[in-house]
Chains A and B, each alone.
Chain A
Amino acid sequence: MWGNGHAVAVIRWFPLALMLGACASVRQDTANGLEFANAGIVYTETVPTVIAESFRLTVEANSIQLSLARDTLSEQERSQQLALADGQLDRRRRLLDDLRTHAALLRDYFAALRTLLDTGNNEAIEAAARNSLSRLPGLQKAIAAREIAGVKLGGLLAPAAAMAVGGYRNSALRRELAERGRTIERELALQQAVMKALVEQMQDDAGFIATVKEVNPVYEQYVSARKLPVRWPDLRVKKFAQASRLKSLDELNQAADRMHTAWIAFVEKRDIDGGWGLFLQDIQHLLAVIGA
């Protein structure tokens, strides 16, 4: 049994222990927030690479079509076909430019969130809100009204998640999430929709390109070549490997899904599956998938 001396010690030290515990909670909140901000920066910096690759694939697929048909066209017909294709590709490029801007604005937000957590200074995030976030709702409306790969982006947006800000001890972070948590959730839902449509189109264009560049030579060399090249078995292996490469583009979709669900978990102060380290690894893997 404790004597009076113990009771006095507990009473004397209890407030200090509480204070130390609270400091540890604030530090943990800050550490988690910094991890998410870093993940957000890496993700949003990856998006332009995906967009560039998507457009490159579309142009390459279209160029292959024009090349295959070229010999049967007159000069006037070639000129007409090239102009028609360029017009459609230009429309696609303008849409992709909007998506790139959207990702850049989100990146600014995550960078400002990192500054807020690093320094406790909310000037950066207020400036980001003024400069970037104020442009997001208008941009989101413009993007959501458009379509890509035959899909209306607005129609893919997930319903707004019901969010309640978790019990963060870092008051600056708690205020920030209460103020803009929902806005960022909507923007990440739009990114998710964009990625889904882009991946579908990239898989189709890449599949078409592979047919011409990798599948056809395997057939032609075996069926028509006078002498079967020594490298023919290697080409055949490569032909089957391309199907796996196309499938791996699905990981782009998964990264966008994880980014969205991780934000909701972050705002609500819940753990995410596998932790933040694994989440960052997924995003790094995403870069490898598109060969960045």
Chain B
Amino acid sequence: MTSPTRLKQETLAALRGTRRDMSSAAWLSSLAGQPPEVRRKAAFAMLEVEQAILALGNGKLAEIGASLQENEEALRTGRAGLIRARKHLGRAGSVLAATARLLDVIARVVRLPAGLS
């Protein structure tokens, strides 16, 4: 079983990479041709990723350690899916779906604000 510290660091690393990708010119230009609803969804996803980074960063392992370990497999699958999706930033729908899947798992570990989308 992976330690809570490691699980948390790996999850944060995936979220940070996603944050950077979602502000990149390649991502923003891929959204330019998308319908407004997709662009709105992308904006919310970016904010939810930021909230998850701050919430996980401020969270205490004493409080979330057990929950991280209970969700280890789902976190691993979610991270792997997101890493795969981020290799193709032009496919906005896949990236957003993979981000949402990981955020769903993270929401079982730390309290995230309800999605706006």
Q: Which residue of B5, B23, B26, B59 contacts A212 across the interface (Cβ within 8 Å)?
A: B23
Contacting pair A204 B16 (CB below 8 A):
yes
- Count CB-based A-B contacts (< 8 Å): 94
| Interface flag for B100 (CB, 8 Å) | no
**Residues of chain B having any CB pair with chain A under 8 Å:** 5, 8-9, 11-12, 16, 19-20, 23-26, 28-29, 39-40, 43-44, 46-47, 50-51, 54-62, 113, 116
- Which residues A182-237 have CB closer than 8 A to chain B? 201, 204, 207-208, 211-212, 215-216, 219-220, 223-224
Contacting pair A91 B116 (CB below 8 A):
no
Contacting pair A155 B5 (CB below 8 A):
yes
Shortest CB-to-CB span from A229 to chain B, Å, is 15
Contacting pair A62 B46 (CB below 8 A):
no
**What residues of chain A lie closer than 8 Å to B46, measured between beta carbons?**
65, 68-69
**What residues of chain B lie closer than 8 Å to A91, measured between beta carbons?**
58
Q: A69-B47, A85-B51 are in contact. Are A147 and B57 (CB under 8 A)?
A: yes
Which residue of the partner chain A has the closest CB to B21?
A: A211
**Residues of chain A having any CB pair with chain B under 8 Å:** 62, 64-66, 68-69, 71-73, 77, 80-81, 84-85, 88-89, 91-92, 95, 145-152, 155, 201, 204, 207-208, 211-212, 215-216, 219-220, 223-224
Contacting pair B12 A223 (CB below 8 A):
no
For the complex, what is the distance from the CA of A223 to the CA of B26, rounded to whole Å? Answer: 10
Contacting pair A68 B57 (CB below 8 A):
no
For the complex, what is the distance from the CA of A151 to the CA of B3, rounded to whole Å? Answer: 12
Contacting pair B29 A88 (CB below 8 A):
no
Contacting pair A85 B58 (CB below 8 A):
no
Q: Which residue of A66, A72, A81, A148 contacts B40 across the interface (Cβ within 8 Å)?
A: A72
For the complex, what is the distance from the CA of A84 to the CA of B61, rounded to whole Å? Answer: 21
Which residue of the partner chain A has the closest CB to B45?
A: A69
Contacting pair A147 B16 (CB below 8 A):
no
Contacting pair A151 B54 (CB below 8 A):
no
